[in-house]
């Protein structure tokens, strides 16, 4: 059986109903452990106590980019195979990814004020992250503006793939330009520059927030599948009323 045959809405609803509660529970437990370790970790020698913000800010940044990358992969599924579950996954990821990206910008601003002396600078990393948020919002607006869901899905998929150029710009902006934002310190050539006493809480928080993202996305996908069934039945009811 081809893998695409497994990815149909009925099977997804059945599978997600079974695993969603476990993912949600695992997210709560992992985040509880992560937050405990984050507040037990020593303060950073430069940032002091404000390093606690990094335990949420960094996972939000990763997941903002992860969500958009997932939407780009779904876009290929929409445009090449016209797969209904790819369209559902794409649409459901947008509000979740936008929330994580917005939280990355907000927590970054709240860290920047005491550390840099300002909430915002038009730095390449900050600006490209803001562009990512605008892309998410633009994609949601585009879908809302087109009545035909198939046309809306294809238009959103094209815009997603065009906008995907921004994801490597976000990642490498700190290397390509002279920015106020610090360079990569976890995923970099030569290994992490963060001490393990601070790195482990960060990674555990990242796993916890990833589980939160997956749970919210899965719930959004389930809702979207039901919404499409409702729309199909309402259209059928209207047709039967006319006949």
Partner 1 sequence: MTHFVFIAASYGVSLLALGLLALWLVLDYRSQRRTLSELEARGVGRRRANRTGESE
User: In the complex, which residues of this chain contact partner 1 (CB under 8 A)?
Assistant: 48-50, 52-53, 56-57, 60, 95-96, 99, 102-103, 106-107, 110-111, 113-114, 212, 216, 219-220, 222-223, 226-227, 229-230, 233-234, 236-237, 240
Whether 184 and 125 have beta carbons less than 8 Å apart is answered as no
CA–CA separation, 31 and 156 (whole Å): 33
Q: Looking at beta carbons only, is 52 or 90 nearer to partner 1?
A: 52
Q: Shortest distance, CB of residue 95 to partner 1, whole angstroms?
A: 7
Q: Looking at beta carbons only, is 11 or 188 nearer to partner 1?
A: 11
Q: Looking at beta carbons only, is 10 or 189 nearer to partner 1?
A: 10
> Within 10 A of 24 (CB to CB), how many other CB atoms are there?
17
Q: Shortest distance, CB of residue 131 to partner 1, whole angstroms?
A: 20
Q: Looking at beta carbons only, is 49 or 195 nearer to partner 1?
A: 49
Q: Looking at beta carbons only, is 29 or 162 nearer to partner 1?
A: 29
Q: Shortest distance, CB of residue 39 to partner 1, whole angstroms?
A: 9
**Token pair recorded at residue 225:** 């599948």
Q: Shortest distance, CB of residue 234 to partner 1, whole angstroms?
A: 7
CA–CA separation, 177 and 6 (whole Å): 44
> Within 10 A of 60 (CB to CB), how many other CB atoms are there?
23
CA–CA separation, 30 and 27 (whole Å): 5
> Within 10 A of 13 (CB to CB), how many other CB atoms are there?
14
Q: Shortest distance, CB of residue 125 to partner 1, whole angstroms?
A: 18
> Within 10 A of 173 (CB to CB), how many other CB atoms are there?
20
Q: Shortest distance, CB of residue 205 to partner 1, whole angstroms?
A: 11
**Token pair recorded at residue 130:** 């803001």
Whether 38 and 185 have beta carbons less than 8 Å apart is answered as no
Q: Looking at beta carbons only, is 188 or 236 nearer to partner 1?
A: 236
């Amino acid at each position: 059986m081809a893998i695409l045959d497994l990815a149909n809405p009925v099977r997804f609803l059945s599978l997600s109903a079974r695993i969603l509660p476990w993912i949600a529970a695992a997210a709560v437990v992992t985040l509880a452990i992560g937050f405990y370790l984050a507040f037990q970790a020593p303060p950073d020698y430069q940032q002091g106590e404000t390093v606690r913000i990094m335990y949420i800010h960094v996972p939000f940044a990763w997941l903002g980019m992860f969500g958009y990358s997932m939407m780009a992969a779904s876009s290929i599924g929409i445009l090449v195979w016209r797969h209904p579950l790819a369209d559902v996954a794409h649409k459901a990821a947008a509000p979740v990814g936008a929330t994580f990206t917005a939280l990355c910008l907000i927590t970054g601003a709240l860290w920047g004020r005491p550390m840099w002396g300002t909430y915002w600078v038009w730095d390449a990393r900050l600006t490209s992250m803001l562009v990512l948020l605008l892309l998410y919002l633009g994609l949601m607006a585009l879908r809302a503006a087109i009545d035909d869901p198939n046309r809306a899905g294809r238009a959103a998929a094209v815009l997603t793939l065009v906008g995907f150029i921004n994801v490597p710009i976000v990642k490498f902006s700190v290397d390509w330009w002279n920015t106020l934002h610090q360079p990569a310190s976890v995923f970099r050539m030569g290994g992490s520059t963060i001490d393990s006493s601070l790195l482990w809480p960060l990674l555990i928080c990242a796993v916890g927030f990833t589980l939160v993202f997956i749970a919210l996305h899965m719930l959004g996908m389930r809702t979207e599948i039901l919404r499409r069934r409702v729309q199909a039945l309402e259209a059928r009811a209207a047709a039967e009323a006319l006949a």
